[in-house]
Amino acid sequence: MADLLALERALWGRGLARIAGVDEAGRGSLFGPVVAAAVIIEPTADLARVRDSKKVPEGEREVLYEKITTGGHVIGVGLVDAAEIDGTDILRATLKAMAHAVASLAQSPDYALVDGNVLPSLPCPGEAVVKGDSLSLSVAAASIVAKVTRDRLIRSLEKDYPLYGLRRNKGYGTREHLEAIRRYGPSPMHRASFRHCQRGPLNDGH
């Protein structure tokens, strides 16, 4: 098992005290915003079960989210909505959400560890870390905050858009969701620039 604090310890050893882990949720979704989070963890905090949000069951994610958000850590969140995603592209929108998350931190970070292979424009030095949510505790914490924040938001929208099974699929392209888009057309919250959100019947598999 990887030492999830190895990257942070190396940076702390260089005198960089406030390390922000940054990650996103919803990049591959068909519906709603992309959400990013930035987390500066307390070095002495017990976050032993925090790991990549994709590897954590939903119920446990909620528990870990509460632990992170009430544990004295510094947290920032940013989002970019579907309309803006359609007006640019999902990569630019994701990087913008990440930049917003870092900018919203109550303390300015000394360095940022950003999940992925592209570094957004940030007010501090940083590096992109491929599979960062599996290599850095700060990034893993950010992945959980981003995922739970977005899931809660999407669930809250189900009452306004009840045809798409959002509570179950969180806006992702499940068979049920794709069939609903075929049958009813996309909603105003769907990402119209994404292939499966185009109006009219789809040609399956093409």
What is the reported pLDDT for 54? 82
**Tokens 């560890």 belong to which residue?**
113
Across the strands, what pairs with 20? 40, 112
Give the pLDDT band (50/70/90) at residue 167: very high
Residue 202 has pLDDT above 50, yes or no: no
Cβ atoms 197, 184 nearer than 8 A: no
Give the pLDDT band (50/70/90) at residue 69: very high
Domains in the chain: ranges and CATH? 6-151 (3.30.420.10), 162-197 (no CATH)
Tens of pLDDT along 3-28?
889 999 999 999 999 999 999 999 99
User: What does the alpha-carbon distance between residue 163 and residue 1 come to, in Å, rounded to a whole number?
Assistant: 42
Q: What is the pTM of this model?
A: 0.92
What is the reported pLDDT for 129? 97
* 205 or 167, higher pLDDT: 167
Give the pLDDT band (50/70/90) at residue 192: very high
Dihedral sign (CA 103, 105, 110, 116): negative
Give the pLDDT band (50/70/90) at residue 2: low
Give the pLDDT band (50/70/90) at residue 204: very low
What type of residue is 65?
Answer: Y
DSSP letter string over 63-132? Answer: HHHHHHHTTT-EEEEEEE-HHHHHHS-HHHHHHHHHHHHHHT-SS--SEEEEESS-PPP-SS-EEEETTG
Across the strands, what pairs with 65? none
DSSP letter string over 155-192? Answer: HHHTTTSGGG-HHHHTTS--HHHHHHHHHH---TTB-T
What is the reported pLDDT for 200? 52
Tens of pLDDT along 39-54?
999 887 778 788 878 8
What is the reported pLDDT for 138? 96
Kindly report the average pLDDT of the chain as a whole number. Answer: 92
Tens of pLDDT along 97-132?
999 999 999 999 999 999 999 999 999 999 999 999
141 contacts: CB under 8 Å, gap ≥ 6: 21, 39, 41, 47, 50, 68, 73
Q: Strand 126-129 vs strand 111-115: parallel, antiparallel, or unpaired? A: parallel
Lookup: tokens for 56: 């954590």
